[in-house]
Amino acid sequence: MPALQPARGTQDLLPDTMRRHRHVSETAHKTAALYGFAEIATPIFEFTEVFSRPIGEHTDIVSKEMYTFTDRGGEEVTLRPENTAGVVRAVLSNGLTQSTPLKFFYSGPMFRYERPQKGRFRQFHQIGVELLGVAQPQADIETIACGHRILQALGIGERVVLELNTLGDPESRADYREALVAYFSKRRSELSEDSQRRLERNPLRILDSKDAGDIRVNTEAPAFAAYLNETSQQFFDRVRGGLDRLGIAARLNPRLVRGLDYYTHTVFEFVTTDLGSQGTVLAGGRYDGLVELMGGPQMPGVGWAAGIERLALLLTEPPAAPRPIALVPIGESAEARALTLAEELRGAGLVVDLGYSGNVQRRMRRADRLGARAAVLLGDDELARGGVTLRDFESGAQTELVFADLAAHLKALT
Ligand code: ATP
Ligand code: MG
């Protein structure tokens, strides 16, 4: 193993990248708050069954992507591959099921053992929302509207398309499943090995396959529309009507299914063509059976998760690094005064970089490298006068200022 390398599929988020990530998660947090989603954080690892049961043994996630290990106390634990199951577990553990509706926002790392590529990592980061306890389609509409507004706020609204589908209620889904199994069984030999396995366990997932042969077979597969019962059809119509009223354009995609087993009714994805095959940036749906499946009461839910890495890659105008004020002391007494002056200026809310060593030229070069907005020069002459020399890097002007006026003057610059 090469020493001092990050593990495969993980990466260091150096400041430029981290600034993008922070911008994505803060924008999402603020926007989700407008809808009443309150931030929650659940543990990064949980007992394995928190994930294996609800996500489903036959999904890619549980069958081959989970980071599962036995800890020193003999407990089977798993690094969370997604956060919906963790949030529902938290709702149950904390006895919150009586206080619905519950609206949560989260942001944090997730772990899946996948083949790393652009926009696909083993440790990645998601933002997401969960709305629990509301059976009405308004919940689906508002949850999608929240995702839509976040993408707009990030300036990537024009680069994504909302795809929408319904998986119906359990009754419709069972009928559809039967029709799918009949169809795929006839064309079994054309399916990939993975999909032949899915045929018994999770036939809907075949529709989601990225294998070229499967995609060909999928184009002629029966569409869900013909198997939707009236309740499911009405529900879907109301979701579509609501999105229409909000001016959120949606493209129906009858092949859209989610990788996880617990979805019902609405499923949706915001996709882009700008990230190669990793085109899904935000994905979610309704999961009315999940809470019960995890041992709670019957409680509907709807939510989505979005990959921060993919959103960060799409940002066309990433936030700029703040331009500091470079403080350049010259001589020993100036060094001492600079230390307190830097704190005074930071107290006033200014970003200050204090040059620690080197002659004036060297410190000015550092100021330049940092993209400083201005330099504050402090030498014996200045000290004697009770002030500083200010060099404005934008205008090139040099002015003398007394200490008392400095903070206000600098604030006007930045
Ligand atoms: P995919 O089909 O791309 O594997 P998925 O269906 O497994 O996606 P979800 O579980 O729905 O993805 O996760 C929601 C979002 O999280 C995805 O749309 C994507 O933006 C992001 N995401 C999922 N897996 C990864 C990963 N390994 N690396 C980076 N982002 C990811
Ligand atoms: Mg996946």
Residues 6+ apart with CB under 8 A from 168: 176, 224, 227, 228, 229, 232, 264, 265
Q: Does the C-beta of 279 come closer than 6 Å to ligand 1?
A: no
> Which has more confidence, 205 or 249?
249
Q: Does the C-beta of 288 come closer than 6 Å to ligand 1?
A: no
In a domain, residue 95? The reply is: yes
- Among 314, 335, 353, the domain boundary falls at 314
In a domain, residue 180? The reply is: no
Looking at ligand 1, which residue's alpha carbon is closest to its atom 19?
Answer: 307
Residue-wise pLDDT tens digits, 5-59: 999 999 999 999 999 999 999 999 999 999 999 999 999 999 999 999 888 877 7
Widest pairwise Cα distance in the chain: 93
Ligand 1 site-directed mutation target among 126, 150, 211, most atoms within 8 Å of CB: 126
Residue 258 has pLDDT above 80, yes or no: no
User: Which atom number of ligand 1 is nearest to the Cα of residue 278?
Assistant: 3
Q: Give dist(CA 201, CA 378) in Å, integer.
A: 74
Whether residues 407 and 273 fall in one domain: no
Whether residues 63 and 106 fall in one domain: yes
Whether residues 134 and 35 fall in one domain: yes
pLDDT the model gives residue 244: 97
pTM for the predicted model, two decimal places: 0.92
In a domain, residue 2? The reply is: no
Residue-wise pLDDT tens digits, 286-315: 999 999 999 999 999 999 999 999 999 999
φ and ψ at 183, to 5 degrees?
-65, -50
Q: Does the C-beta of 23 come closer than 6 Å to ligand 1?
A: no
Residues 6+ apart with CB under 8 A from 395: none
Domain total for the chain? 2
CA angle, 348 as apex, 346 and 351 as ends, to 5°?
A: 40
Question: How far from chain centre, in Å, is Cα 191?
Answer: 33
Percent of the chain with pLDDT over 90: 77
Q: Does the C-beta of 60 come closer than 6 Å to ligand 1?
A: no
Cα(61) to centroid(ligand 2), Å: 7
Cα(244) to centroid(ligand 2), Å: 30
pLDDT the model gives residue 260: 67
pLDDT the model gives residue 360: 85
In a domain, residue 370? The reply is: yes
Ligand 1 site-directed mutation target among 124, 125, 268, most atoms within 8 Å of CB: 124
Task: CATH number of the domain at 104, please.
Answer: 3.30.930.10
Residue type for 189, please? S
Residue 76 pairs in a beta bridge with 70
Question: What average pLDDT does the segment 171-193 reach?
Answer: 91
Q: Could you list the residue range(s) of the whole structural domain that residue 331 is in?
A: 325-413
Residue 150 tokens read as 């976040």
Compute the mean pLDDT over every residue in the chain, rounded to the nearest whole number.
93
Whether residues 278 and 382 fall in one domain: no
Whether residues 344 and 378 fall in one domain: yes
Q: By the 8 A CB rule, do 109 and 42 touch?
A: no
Q: Does the C-beta of 309 come closer than 6 Å to ligand 1?
A: yes
Whether residues 147 and 43 fall in one domain: yes
pLDDT the model gives residue 2: 64
User: Which atom number of ligand 1 is nearest to the Cα of residue 122?
Assistant: 27
Q: Give dist(CA 85, CA 33) in Å, integer.
A: 21
Cα(317) to centroid(ligand 1), Å: 23
Q: Give dist(CA 113, CA 215) in Å, integer.
A: 24
Cα(285) to centroid(ligand 2), Å: 15
Q: Does the C-beta of 82 come closer than 6 Å to ligand 1?
A: yes
Whether residues 133 and 257 fall in one domain: yes
Residue-wise pLDDT tens digits, 91-100: 999 999 998 9
Residue 125 pairs in a beta bridge with 109
- Among 287, 314, 341, the domain boundary falls at 314
Residue 62 tokens read as 């549980």
Residue 333 tokens read as 């007494």
User: What are the E-state strand segments in 188-322?
Assistant: 250-252, 264-271, 280-286, 301-307
Whether residues 243 and 392 fall in one domain: no
**In this structure, which ligand is nearest to the CA of 258?**
1
In a domain, residue 319? The reply is: no
Task: CATH number of the domain at 382, please.
Answer: 3.40.50.800
User: What are the E-state strand segments in 93-225?
Assistant: 102-111, 123-132, 161-166
